[in-house]
Amino acid sequence: MKKDTDFIDGLLGRMTLSEKIGQLNLVTPGGETLTGTVVNTDVAEKIKTGRIGGIFGVKSAEAVRVFQDLAQETRLKIPLFFAEDVIHGQKTIFPLPLALAASWDMDLVRATARVAAQEAASIGIDQVYSPMVDVCRDPRWGRIAESPGEDPFLASRFAEAMVEGYQGGDLSRPDAVMACLKHFCGYGGGMGGRDYDAVDLSPATLHDVVLPPFVAGLRAGAGSIMASFNTLNGVPMHANRAVITELFREKLGYEGLVVADYTGILELIAHGVASDRADAARLGLSAGVDLDMVSETYLDTLEQSVKAGLIGEAEITAACRRVLEAKLKLGLFDDPYHRLDWGRAAQPILTAANRKLAREAVAAATVLLKNDGELLPLPEPKSGKIGSIALIGPFVEDRVNMNGTWAVAGSPSTVVPIADGLREAVGNAVGITIAKGANIVDESWLATRLNVHDWKDLSVVIDIRSPEAMISEAVAAAMASDVTVAVIGEAREYSGESSSRTDLSIPEPQKKLLRALKATGKPLVVVVMTGRPLSLAEETLLADALLVAWFGGTEIGHGLADVLLGKAEPSGRLPATFPYCVGQVPVTYAHRPTGRPTPGRFQKFTSGYVDLPDDVAQNDGLYPFGFGLGYGKVAYGPPRANRTKLSGDDRLEMTLTVTNLGDLPTSETVQLYIGDPVASVSRPVKELKAFRKVALAPHAAATVSFVITAEDLDFSVAETVTDTRRRAESGAFDIHVGPNSRDTQMVRIIWDGPQSGGKRS
């Protein structure tokens, strides 16, 4: 008979206090990629004595089985659960989360998570530490690579799709894994773009910008969340009872697990809110953090704190119940080994179907920023219109960087390098000459930092040749070819955890290379590998065609060749603003107006920067949120509203026609934004409220409709973090529709509703 909650009640009744505390201890045995300085010891012994509830970072089915066997030796035989940092794929690595968000294709996002779940589950993984849904408007922060970008609406759709993909509708399925929404919350807004740094947010911004993706993930049924390392308005999230328990659990109805981040409970001491380990554990548990990751403060101190009357056993029982309920949902009490299917383990990993999806994801995520003279796609190889390509740059033969950050189980050996993909695609029809051209960076101290995981593979290798010699070789290759494709950008560990940057430029040696390639006069395609929005002002001038390929993962070589040769269209749209320069960040299209808005160019006594050139948008980036070109030529018809007034439960339908005037098929991401020009508080100039990615055959048109209701018009009026009141205010609203957040057409409507609401949280 399937175990149920009565079973959990019975089990809890038989557990000692120390066995309950044991369930709250989450450890890593170490040995692989670590994200902190502390590692747990004596893991086997602790399992046998009932002092561990779950393990993360175990990389093989064999190891999972060994640990699970040990748990079966304990008095109550409570199974362990196994977690892993599966962030954008397990073995088949998909483009980075930021890149997947750039696809604006939630079916694709869901499908990648499904594949990741199947691969991970097949080695016994029960829970993945993904999706990360931290909204981020400061690309100095390296972890923007793991996030869905700057916008709460896009991030919310991403959160739902990822949760649905991982959990597959039923957590007890052997190929389903529990999703973990992270990092709860505010982590994307650290001071100065620095990782782990303090976050100060108004309650309304918390509710309107930071929380929506977590709420969307909750509604999609996410089984767990992870606390974030930052303080929020002075209170470290690992001690933040108001936000975790009073708001998320009690008011918003979250019933799942709350996991600490790596030593996050112990770090309450360094944050200056706990005096010692016992104090830290007490604060963490009281805040509502069920599982203590790595620091073992719960294990060491909670029993004593109960005896001393500092904490009630009921709180420990409640946390333990949530851990046991998670194991129940995961089907582990019925069969602790059911994900660990030895026959299946060999099958779903890196299959042709998984690789095909990864290949398609590359094109869907790649963003075309510029395409002068329709240089792209390059002519069909057998057409005779192109004889040779110079393929230049430090990434063209690379495997190590291609998976990007947080691909802990992904192996460079399975990556299709860009050079291999392009060679395969052109066959003998087109000659390809390869040259490295430049180091990713020239500074050895920086290379050492970027090679942080160098026990595995080096991602930055400084060439023994001089920079001049490398550039000469590249220039000679370009001169001898019809077109140059230069692949430049960041090393993979330039973004990710603890990888903030003070500069958002392409490293100087690669800029020098581009200048030299431009001087050859040959048509120049520039492909940018990056985990963050970069400032690409100079590259925009130098390139004839400019593509942002992010880090594309296992199938980058095939996927990028498809894009370059037009077998697939680069249909990505920017999920975050690309600034003109680092001085503009934090930056978002959804900024509030100022009392002195900048006109397009600098004007004294208006908001803006005195040192930006006249042709540069002052508050926006170089490339706005939502921007991206395609291989078609899309014209937007005028947007029409079926009514211009709405109230109560009315639905307003907005319709427009998009037409592909070009000769190639294309897909267009039609975006709808709403602005609230007069309200009781100054509202963002525009906010994304809907989008639709539509396929358009050559010379075909499609009609796109969006439905707007009062829920699209309201905003938070929170005065405290636990205040969930929202309000839609009567008056004018501007509905903007267009291909990106900047180039929109506008229709004004009137909402004639009640002045105050509180309809939804």
Give the count of residues interacting with ligand NOJ (CB under 6 A). Answer: 7
Of 405 and 741, CB closest to ligand NOJ: 405
261 is catalytic: yes
Q: In the set 88, 91, 137, 182, which binds ligand NOJ (CB under 6 A)?
A: 182
CB-CB contact of 546 with 368 (8 Å): yes
Pick 118 or 147: Cβ nearer ligand NOJ: 147
Q: Minimal distance in Å, beta carbon 498 to ligand NOJ?
A: 9
Contact set for ligand NOJ, span 450-509 (CB under 6 A): 497
Q: Please choose, from the candidates 50, 66, 49, the residue with its C-alpha nearest in 3D space to the C-alpha of residue 11.
A: 50
Which of 397, 400, 381 has its CA nearest to residue 389? 381
List 85, 151, 261, 341, catalytic entry: 261
3-state secondary structure of 433: strand
Cβ density class 554-587: b for 16+ within 10 Å, e for less: bbbbbbbbbbbbbebbbbbbbbbbbbbbbebbbb
Residue 261 binding ligand NOJ, by CB under 6 A: yes
Using CB under 6 A as the binding rule, whether residue 196 contacts ligand NOJ is answered as no
Q: How far apart are CA 475 and CA 580, in angstroms?
A: 28
The residue written with tokens 């050895």 in the block is 444
Which of residues 261 and 341 has its CB atom nearest to ligand NOJ in the complex? 261
Helix (H), strand (E) counts: the chain: 22, 27
- Which is nearer to ligand NOJ, 38 or 581 (by Cβ)? 38
Reading the block at residue 268, the tokens are 């309450």
* Closest CB 427 distance from ligand NOJ, rounded Å: 43
- Stated as kind and residue range, the H or E segment containing 219 is helix 212-219
Strands 687-696 and 645-646, by their bridges, are unpaired
Which residue, 85 or 569, is less far from ligand NOJ as judged by CB? Answer: 85
Provide the minimum distance between the beta carbon of 519 and ligand NOJ in the complex, in angstroms, as a whole number: 44
CB 402 within 8 A of CB 459: no
Beta strands in 378-455 (DSSP E): 388-392, 431-435
Q: Report 29-48 residues binding ligand NOJ (CB under 6 A).
A: 35
Q: Which amino acid is at 758?
A: G
Question: Contact letters (x/-) for ligand NOJ, 128-167, by CB under 6 A?
Answer: -x--------------------------------------
Q: Least distance to ligand NOJ from the beta carbon of 610, Å?
A: 38
Q: Are 253 and 222 in contact (CB under 8 A)?
A: no
CA gap 313, 300 in Å, rounded: 15
Among residues 94, 141, 153, 262, the one that binds ligand NOJ under rule CB under 6 A: 262
Spatial distance between the Cα atoms of 534 and 479, rounded to a whole number of angstroms: 28
For ligand NOJ, the closer CB: 226 or 696: 226
Exposure b/e, 624-640, CB count within 10 A at least 16 = b: bbbbbbbbbbbebeebe
User: 157 vs 182, which CB is nearer to ligand NOJ?
Assistant: 182
Closest CA to 332 of 639, 587, 121: 121
The CB-of-182 to ligand NOJ minimum distance in angstroms stands at 6
Considering Cα of 504, then 510, then 515, then 519, what sign does the dihedral take? negative
- In the bound state with ligand NOJ, the residue whose beta carbon lies nearer, of 196 and 551, is 196
Question: At closest approach, how far in Å is the CB of 673 from ligand NOJ?
Answer: 31
Shortest Å, Cβ 496 to ligand NOJ: 10
Q: Rule CB under 6 A: which of 76-105 touch ligand NOJ?
A: 85
- What are the φ and ψ backbone dihedral angles of 622, each rounded to 5 degrees? -75, -40
Q: Which residues bind ligand NOJ (CB under 6 A)?
A: 35, 85, 129, 182, 261-262, 497
Catalytic positions are: 261
